[in-house]
């Protein structure tokens, strides 16, 4: 059995500001406790290199961009472990709810015959990390929106 983590939050800021937050990779360290470092061109086929915090430890993770939809989302996957042992997919999506509001959704899934072991060892840390990142996106976008208001 695999692991699926979905997180969603309504944000009191336009979708374009949330897009700015999730694509400004060099600024991740200012607000993102789960992925404090991230580098990528965001072009499909290119790597996305991350430092991921799982508890107190930072782990280097390299995955591969699969989609990029300007203003609405992007996704990436890890390189599958041979023999179907393990693979993952991550999706970021933004849905506009009007001029001043939007909804951010993230989806993570981990599958393969090793996924049960990873789930047993890492589920709590991954759930905490994705929750923290989702809150961080909301807070960062709302702060940026507040700073723009006269």
pLDDT digits (tens, 9 = 90+) for 18-77: 999 999 999 999 999 999 999 999 999 999 999 999 988 899 999 999 999 999 999 999
CATH number of 3-148: 3.30.530.20
What's the pLDDT score for residue 148? Answer: 85
HEC profile of 34-72:
CCCEEEECCCCCCEEEEEEEECCEEEEEEEEEEEEECCC
What residue segments make up the domains of the chain, in order of their start? 3-148
How many Å apart are CA 74 and CA 84, to the nearest integer?
24
Question: Which pTM was predicted?
Answer: 0.94
Question: CA separation (Å) from 10 to 17, 31, 104?
Answer: 13, 18, 6
Judged against a pLDDT cut of 80, whether residue 150 lies above it is answered with no
pLDDT (mean) for 1-8: 93
- Token duo for residue 35: 């992925």
Mean pLDDT of 83-90: 94
């Amino acid at each position: 059995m695999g692991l699926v983590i979905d997180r969603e939050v309504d944000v009191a800021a336009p979708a374009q500001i949330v897009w700015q937050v999730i694509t400004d990779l060099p600024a991740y360290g200012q607000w993102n406790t789960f992925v404090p470092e991230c580098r990528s061109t965001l072009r499909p086929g290119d790597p996305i290199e991350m430092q991921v915090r799982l508890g107190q430890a930072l782990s280097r993770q390299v995955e591969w961009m699969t989609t990029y939809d300007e203003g609405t989302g992007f996704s990436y996957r890890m390189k599958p472990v041979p023999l179907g042992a393990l693979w993952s997919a991550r999706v970021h999506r933004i849905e506009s709810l009007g001029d001043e509001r939007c909804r951010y959704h993230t989806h993570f899934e981990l599958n393969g015959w090793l996924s049960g072991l990873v789930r047993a060892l890492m589920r709590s840390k991954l759930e905490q990390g994705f929750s923290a990142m989702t809150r961080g996106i909301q807070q960062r976008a709302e702060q940026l929106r507040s700073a723009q208001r006269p």
